[in-house]
Structure formats: C-alpha cells, structure tokens
Structure 1
Amino acid sequence: MQTDSSFTFVLFGGTGDLSMRKILPALFEAHRAGGMLADSGKIVAVARHATDRGEYIEWVNKHVKPHVSKNGVDEAAWASFLERIEFVNIDLGKAEDFVHLRDAIQDLPGIRVFYLATGPSLFVPICHALASVGLNVNSRIVLEKPLGYDLKSSNAINDAVGEIFAEEQIYRIDHYLGKEPVQNLLALRFGNALFEPLWRREWVESIQITIAEELGVEARGDFYDNTGALRDMVQNHLLQLLSIVAMEPPHSMDSDSVRDEKLRVLRALKPIDPRDIGKVAVRGQYHAGVIRGTAVPAYATEPGVKPDSRTETFVALKVEIENWRWAGVPFFLRTGKRLADRVAEIVVNFRAVPHSALGASALRAGANRLVIRLQPNETIRLYCLAKQPGEGMNLASVHLDLAFDQFFREGQMEAYQRLLLDVINGRLALFVRRDEQEAAWRWVEPILNEWKASNKPPKPYASGTWGPAASSAMLAQHGTCWLEEEN
C-alpha cells in the first residue's frame, strides 16, 4: 500500500489512552514499513497535559514506545518517526485557542486529517472551533465511538458535524472493520465460487458472532456505567460484523457500493417486539470470580461504578434478517466483559447432509462449519468430515486452516494501521456512513427502552465464565449451543 499523499495528521487527545495504545503505534508501524507514509507527512499532537514539544516527546517515549513493534523497536526508525511529530498545547474548550493550531499547521503540506480521540461531548465544540479558523476545508475528520447515547443524541452530533464537514469528509471509525479476517471474509465470499452458492438460508443453519473480553471496565467505570454493553459493542461492532457477513455482493469495492449493501442488511433486521425481549435478549452483569487463577472484583465494586448499578456488562441476542437470502436463519450475537477468554469470532454453521449413507457419525456436530477468528490469533478454519484410518467407515472432524501469519510472509497490518492509511488516502469503504449508523440505532433503541422501562436488574454471572445461563438456554431453544459448549 504505497502512497505519495502528503498529509498533516492532527491528533486531538494526544496524551489519551487511545493515542498511546493504538493510534501512535499504528502510525509508527506505517512509518517503519517504508513507503506507506509520505516523507513530508507530519503528525501534530494536541493536548493540555504537556507544555511543549520536548515534554510531549518525552511522554511518547515513556508511554507509546512500549506498545510498538512486538519484536523490539527499530531505534533508527523510532528516531525518524519522532521527527514527524509536532505539538500544540491548546484548551479544547476555548475556541480562541484554535488560532494557535491554525498558525502551527497552515504552512504544512497536503490533506489535513483531524482525529478526534476525545470524549464525544467535545466533537461538536472542536468542529465549530476548527471552522471558526477556516480549518474545515481540504480536510477530513475522524470520529471515534460512541457517537451519541441514543438515536436522538447521535443525530444531534451528526447534524452539527454535518453543518461543518461534508459527508465525504467524515470518517466514523469502527476498528473491527479494519481487521484482516474481516477483509478476507469479503475475499472468501466474493472471490471464490465454492462459498457463494452456500451462503444462504438453504445451506446455513445458524450464525454466531462473539466478541468476548477477559478484562473488566478497568479505569473506564464512569464512562461504562452510563453506556453498557449494548451501546458500547452491539450498536457498532457487532452489527457492523453482522452486516459484513450477511450483505449481498456489491457492484464493486468502492466505498458507497459496499456501504449500500451493509445498509440494506441493517434495514432488513427484524424489529424486536418489546413483549419478546425476554426471549431473544439476555443482559448480564459480572460478579466477583477468578480468571486464570486471579481473583477479580464484581462490576458494582469497580472504581467509578454505582454500587446499585443495573448497567449490563454482557449481552446475547437472537437476531433475524427479513430478506430472501436469510429468512429463518438465526444470528446469535454475544459480547461481554470478564468472560472466560478473550476472543472475537464468527461461526457459520452449515446444515448437515439431508441423508447420511455413511452412518450417524456423518451427522455429528463439529463439522460443516466455518470459523473466522478475529482475535487473538487471526485465522479462518473450515471444519469438515474425513474417514479415520483403519477398518470401517468411521468419520472424524478435521479442519483446513488459513493461518495468515504462516501462509503470507509479509506481516499482517493491524486494524488501526489500515484504517489510518485509508483516511490519509481518502478511502471510505471501511468507515460507517451516517445512514448505517442511524439504522443501527433504530434497531437497538427499542431494546434499550424496554430494559429501562422494566427496570429489571441484569442477570448475574461469575467472572471467568461465559455469561449468564440464560444465554445458553436461548440457543438451546433452537437446538444449538455456543461453540465452546459443544465439547
């Protein structure tokens, strides 16, 4: 992915956790690879927690360097990367301070990218301040989630930002869309004649999409207690992955063709009747438990969390898509904190053969399945049946692997690295369009409203497990189970 695109990358929230762990390490990896970033490209960090460039570089060396290059840091590359970095100290709450930013970047070349790695409450003030000093032209703006608390607040932010930046200037980022296996899912489906004829209701029995975390809310208790798993993970990451899995073949891979097809999926989601929410939606909250031998506290005792909190840290949903391709196929979505393992995966369960001439073993579970692992290791694995060596026709489940790190010699690109390069180069396909976001909020909002109206507490689950038993019971009603329960 070579580029000659000159750029000025302005990072608001330059000393924040996201900048430290993801954004600056991703930019360094692109710089270290050579040819991905134009030599003239500059990174301008904006923050209040440093007084000048020297202090900021000291902070970068201390806090960012440990997060880059798993196999050690190339010191020469690191030193040349630091030369790209400039720093501006401004108060984001004072529009008049943005004159200093304008003066600092007005003579720098190329497209301007403004990355808002801040809380959503600052999105609109920052955009207005940029416009007040003429920085909303020849520019792109990147908005991190969460973009609003509900449909109304999301629309309010989008309306305000849309008055200042055109839709084609706005990059709403969802880092799961930048992961290598998600890209390979598109290649698998639309580049291979083997899978596309099977990718429909006649041959698919069910689909599971899981994003599980071992970590709790860590230092994000104040934020998370006002958000919850449905807003934090389902409305964006899980529904975006669902739309990628279920979309029709796009006319081409240009940005609007891909996003048009994703939008059709989101608009085809079967609305959940509030009277049925107890049957198709499970919410839970983690209690104290043990993960990998270490005792961890209950959610309600985490810093920043209200002791009587009813915020969900776990959600499992049964989702249906009302169109010809997917009618009647259940999609099971699941996400949670303090679960038994850190994993993100898509499981496509194909139907068993209609009649087995090879005996009952040909109908066993564990075969006729495609597992797309997004994290921690990125692989695609196809399970099928094969004859065991020896006498008789005894079948066993075997798998075919596409392990990217073994098959391809070049290293994989991290999700943020790919997405940041797409912003710099003006590629919108992997970013969320406003109408997609609105469709997702419209589908999620009745669930939020019903949970609020009922005022029922989330179901408890012990940390280190796979969530409330009701999650497993929901799948059992459909004659299936979560992947890890099969054995």
Structure 2
Amino acid sequence: MNKPKNHILVIFGASGDLTYRKLIPAVFDLFNQKLLPKNFAILGIGRTEMENEDFRNKMQEGIQQFSVTKPSGEDEINSFVNQLYYFSFDTQSPDEYALLKWQLRELDEKCGTDGNFIYYMATPPSMYNVIPAQLAKQGLSDENDGFKRLIVEKPFGYDLETAQKLNNELLQHFKEEQIYRIDHYLGKETVQNLLVTRFSNGIFEPLWNRNYIHHVEITSAENIGVGNRGGYYEGSGAMRDMIQNHLLLLVGIVAMEPPTIIDSTNIRNEIAKVFHSLRPISEEEVPNYVIRGQYIASNIKGEKVKGYREEKGVDPNSRTETFVAMKCFIDNWRWADVPFYIRSGKMLPTRVTEIVIHFKSTPHHLFANNESIVNNHNQLVIRIQPDEGLLFKFGMKVPGAGFKVQNVNMDFHYSDLDSTHLPSAYERLLLDCMLGDSTLYHRGDAVEAAWKFVDPILKAWKNNSEIKVHGYPAGTWGPDVSDNLIDGENITWRYPCKNLANDGNYCEL
C-alpha cells in the first residue's frame, strides 16, 4: 500500500471528545501498521490551556482505551505520542491566526513535513465558515508550497439554504478538491463492500434493477435514547441527524450505476446522479410518504425508561422526531417504480444498520399450497453493524415426502476473517485523506441534492401542525402506522436481530 506524503495533521477542537475517542486512536492504529509517513506530526488546537505533555498524556489514555490495535508496550506508544503537539488558541480571534501560521511553519521545519497540512475541523458547525476564512487570509490554504486539505465533520448545513451558504463560503477559500466532507458511515468496511458485492459478481448485477427487485429497505436503529444530548437533538431530529446524510448515502450506493472506473470522480458522479433522480416529495404529499414518531415512557425488561419529552434539555411539548420512516422513488431507467423504504429511530429494540434487497417472487407459484414461501421473497441482507456480513435467504425443499418448502439462510461474517485487520471508519477515512483520495467523502453538489430532497419534508413539519407525531413506547419498532407505507399484501418491514444469521431460530436483542 502507498504511504502518504510527509505532513502535519492539524486538529481544531483537539481538547474535545471526538479527538480523544476517535481521531487520535485511529491515527495511532495507522502508526501501528506502519502506514504513516516517515515525517509526521499532529498539532492539536483548542481553547483549553494545555502543555504538550498534558495533551500527550490525555491522548495516551484515549489510545489505550479506544484504539483497535492496542499498544504492545511503553516504547511503542511513546514514539507515537512524542509526535503530538498542542497550541492553545482562540479560533474566533482573527489576530491569533498569524501566531498559528508561525507555529505551523516552525513545526513544519522541525519535523520536515514539506509544507503539507491537513486541517481537521472537530469543532461546532458555527466555526465551519470562520476557520477556513482565517486560514486562507494567512495563506494557509495556498498549495504552492505543499498540499492543504480541509476535513469538515457533519452536519453540512441545517437545511438546503444553509448547506448552499456553507458550500459557497468554503469554496471562497478552498477548492472543491481540497475539501473532504467526512461521514463515518462511508468508512465502514461493509458499506464499501457493497460496491464489490454488486460490481464484481455476475450473479448480482444482472438482477439489480426493477425487473427483479420488488423493493429495497434500509434500517438504522438505535436502542438508546438521546441521553445528555437532548439540547442538540431538539434542533436536529432523526431526519437531519440520520436520514439526510447517512441513510440517503446508503441509498446512493445501492442505487448507483456502475462507474466507468473505480476512482473518486466517477463514483461520486454516480452517487450524485442518484440524488438528483430522487422523486420530489411536495409539502402536501408528506403525510402519504413520511411517518415521524417520538418515543414515550415504557418498561424495558422490568426497568422504567423515560420518554423523549422527559429527557434533559428537551421541550416538554417537543414535536422533534426520534423516528422517521419514509417511502421514496428513484426516477431513472433502472429503478422506475421500485420503492425504497428508509427508517431510523432511537429507543428501538436493538442497535442495527442494514440494507435489505427484497427480490420479486417467481412469476408462477408451483408450490402455491405453501403459504410460508409464497409470501416470503428472496432477500439479500447487507449488515453494516453489528455482526457485519451478508445474509441470503432462499427457499429449499424440506427432506421427506412432497414438496414442502422452507426459507434457509446462507451467510458470511467479517468476524470469520480472524487474521484480517478491520480498520475503524475514521482510520480508513483519515488514511484516504492523507493519500489525497476523496472517493469516500461527500462532494458539495451531492450534499445540496440530498438537502433539496428532504427540505420540503422539514418545511411541511414546520408549517403544518396537523401532521402527526406518533408516539411509540420505548423498546418497540416505532409507530405501527409505519407498516402502512409498504406496498404489497402480507409485506411488512423486516424486524432484524442483533445476530445476523439464525434469525429464524432465535433473536438476540
């Protein structure tokens, strides 16, 4: 594998939880696998006063607790943390960016990193337009003396208008090819494997269209509530937090056309085409296509669980959705009239994210006396998390007289690859940015197209108080009316278990 060029990773918001739990442990995993360049450094930037040694000690704790490849000894972890530096800095003060420039140039000369900088904004979204502007003002976005890359965490805007504004502001100071909009879902191995499953197997791609697929179902469920994030979630909700970015991204990968070659431009072109092909849902049509819900107090395994409106920081009369189920269509040749069903929610029975391809039933039911197989289409289940892998469901004859048919499972689990290191999402994505590969990052036009699709839904909820927010008891699969979205007799959502295989025999929640 190619190694990245020498560079400095500059983390804005380095005293925060994301850096401690995700970023530094992921970079340590790259270091442990000898995937970092010879000359490399991390400069953490935060408002908290800290010396280099304090920062290193704190990050060492994070590595020991959260890294995938655990340190084998003190020497190993010390050789890594010695490449960490900290600069106390007020990112809202324009005058201090000249000091940052001096600090970067000094560290660049000391470490021999050839003027290559990656800026990671692990900050509140309010800083997404401030930091790039000030960096550009100091000439720190200029690539004449080395590459300069900017990683932006979601959310990429709050609605279509703010997303467009953010993109315009970023493009005033950095070129599109310098901007890396990160979504950790794209860093998951199983998401990337979806491309391989489709495009390297002759048995799938010929069937991957409206002629053979009845519908596509995408679920992302969490078995926890909002916890201490009630204040944040009140301004977000499930639509902004999950649907607009993570789950529409999965729709894009499932539905995209084969790219001419596997590279950043071609793959992202095809995903953007899917977003532009989504059939618009007008404000008046929202009640027919989208169900929203909010978890209410319940008892789970004998323990009383609070409802959303009882959570800290939540308005007692809140109409913020903690559950969304929706039906959408992609108006192109491949997917005409094939419904895509998407749902996401908090306080559901288990934590699971999966894509289910429901194939059409056979045109002639030779075994029509067996209702169990007639009403169960073949399914390909692509499990993103947990118990990552693939599951294929198809009918087989039960041994004995007659032609009694039952569904059986054929499965593959990533855990079977014992000798293979499965990188964390941030590990994979950070390495790609270091290599200059933006394939697994969002592009500005695709972000705006996704917002354009969900914007009328958000406006309908805001403007029409008659659209219901359905309560559902915590620990259930959301409002029962969400089943009404699904077209077809005797067809409902799949109710997944934590265990991918043997789901017909037992269900672990």
TM-score (norm 2): 0.91
Q: Which of the numbers 474, 478, 491 marks the counterpart of 1:467? A: 478
Distance across 2 between alignment mates of 1:447 and 1:21: 34
Tell me which moved more, 325-334 or 362-371.
Answer: 362-371
1:120 paired residue number: 125
Assess, with a 3 A threshold, how the Cα gap between structure 1 residues 97 and 203 changes in structure 2: closer, same or farther. Answer: same
Q: Does the CA contact (< 8 Å) of 2:323 and 2:344 recur in 1?
A: yes
Report SS of the residue matched to 1:3: coil
1:426 paired residue number: 436
Q: Does the CA contact (< 8 Å) of 1:352 and 1:363 recur in 2?
A: no
Q: Which of the numbers 136, 139, 143 marks the counterpart of 2:141? A: 136
Distance across 2 between alignment mates of 1:24 and 1:292: 37
Assess, with a 3 A threshold, how the Cα gap between structure 1 residues 198 and 476 changes in structure 2: closer, same or farther. Answer: closer
Assess, with a 3 A threshold, how the Cα gap between structure 1 residues 290 and 422 changes in structure 2: closer, same or farther. Answer: farther
Q: Give a deviation string over 1:81-127, Cα, whole Å, max 9, x none.
A: 21221111101111222223222222421421101111110011111
Distance across 2 between alignment mates of 1:309 and 1:359: 49
- Name the count of aligned residue pairs: 486
Distance across 2 between alignment mates of 1:80 and 1:287: 50
Deviation at 1:349, TM superposition (A): 0.4
Q: Which of the numbers 327, 336, 341 marks the counterpart of 1:327? A: 336
Amino acid at match of 2:424: E
Q: Give a deviation string over 1:2-45, Cα, whole Å, max 9, x none.
A: 414212111111122222222122111111122x1113111111
Q: Which of the numbers 379, 383, 405 marks the counterpart of 2:389? A: 379
Deviation at 1:365, TM superposition (A): 4.6
| Structure 1 runs not aligned, ≥5 long | none
Deviation at 1:72, TM superposition (A): 7.3
2:214 paired residue number: 205
Tell whether 2:115 aligns with 1:105: no
1:235 paired residue number: 244
Amino acid at match of 1:134: G
Q: Does the CA contact (< 8 Å) of 1:88 and 1:100 recur in 2?
A: no
Report SS of the residue matched to 2:343: strand
Distance across 2 between alignment mates of 1:33 and 1:408: 17
Amino acid at match of 2:130: P
2:500 paired residue number: none
Distance across 1 between alignment mates of 2:488 and 2:290: 13
Q: Which of the numbers 267, 281, 285 marks the counterpart of 1:276? A: 285
Q: Give a deviation string over 1:262-299, Cα, whole Å, max 9, x none.
A: 11111111111322211210111111224455433221
Distance across 2 between alignment mates of 1:367 and 1:411: 35
Deviation at 1:128, TM superposition (A): 1.4
Distance across 2 between alignment mates of 1:332 and 1:478: 16
Tell whether 2:247 aligns with 1:248: no
Tell me which moved more, 201-210 or 352-361.
Answer: 352-361
Distance across 2 between alignment mates of 1:478 and 1:229: 29
Deviation at 1:379, TM superposition (A): 0.5
Tell whether 2:50 aligns with 1:51: yes
Distance across 2 between alignment mates of 1:78 and 1:400: 42
Distance across 1 between alignment mates of 2:484 and 2:477: 12
1:42 paired residue number: 41
Distance across 2 between alignment mates of 1:273 and 1:363: 38
1:89 paired residue number: 88
Tell me which moved more, 44-53 or 313-322.
Answer: 44-53
Deviation at 1:339, TM superposition (A): 1.1
Assess, with a 3 A threshold, how the Cα gap between structure 1 residues 249 and 86 changes in structure 2: closer, same or farther. Answer: same
Report SS of the residue matched to 1:348: strand
Assess, with a 3 A threshold, how the Cα gap between structure 1 residues 376 and 77 changes in structure 2: closer, same or farther. Answer: farther
Amino acid at match of 1:98: Y
Deviation at 1:479, TM superposition (A): 4.6
Distance across 2 between alignment mates of 1:221 and 1:58: 31
Amino acid at match of 2:163: S
Assess, with a 3 A threshold, how the Cα gap between structure 1 residues 229 and 369 changes in structure 2: closer, same or farther. Answer: same
Amino acid at match of 1:112: F
Amino acid at match of 1:78: I
RMSD: 2.0
Tell whether 2:295 aligns with 1:296: no
Distance across 2 between alignment mates of 1:453 and 1:337: 24
Distance across 2 between alignment mates of 1:139 and 1:121: 22
Tell me which moved more, 293-302 or 431-440.
Answer: 293-302
Q: Within 5 A, what are the aligned runs for 1:123-272?
A: 123-137=128-142, 138-272=147-281
1:28 paired residue number: 28
Deviation at 1:51, TM superposition (A): 2.0
1:437 paired residue number: 447
Q: Does the CA contact (< 8 Å) of 1:46 and 1:90 recur in 2?
A: yes
Q: Does the CA contact (< 8 Å) of 2:10 and 2:117 recur in 1?
A: yes
Amino acid at match of 2:282: D
Distance across 2 between alignment mates of 1:184 and 1:236: 19
Deviation at 1:408, TM superposition (A): 6.1
Q: Does the CA contact (< 8 Å) of 1:367 and 1:397 recur in 2?
A: no
Report SS of the residue matched to 1:220: helix
Amino acid at match of 1:104: Q
Amino acid at match of 1:412: L
TM-score (norm 1): 0.95
Distance across 2 between alignment mates of 1:189 and 1:101: 47
Q: Does the CA contact (< 8 Å) of 1:11 and 1:116 recur in 2?
A: yes
Distance across 2 between alignment mates of 1:3 and 1:292: 50
Report SS of the residue matched to 1:390: coil
Q: Does the CA contact (< 8 Å) of 2:373 and 2:407 recur in 1?
A: no
Report SS of the residue matched to 1:427: coil
Report SS of the residue matched to 1:209: strand
2:425 paired residue number: 415
Deviation at 1:376, TM superposition (A): 1.4
| Structure 2 runs not aligned, ≥5 long | 497-502, 505-509
Distance across 2 between alignment mates of 1:41 and 1:457: 54
Q: Does the CA contact (< 8 Å) of 1:353 and 1:363 recur in 2?
A: no
Tell me which moved more, 470-479 or 38-47.
Answer: 470-479
Tell me which moved more, 428-437 or 58-67.
Answer: 58-67
Report SS of the residue matched to 2:129: helix
Deviation at 1:387, TM superposition (A): 2.2
1:388 paired residue number: 398
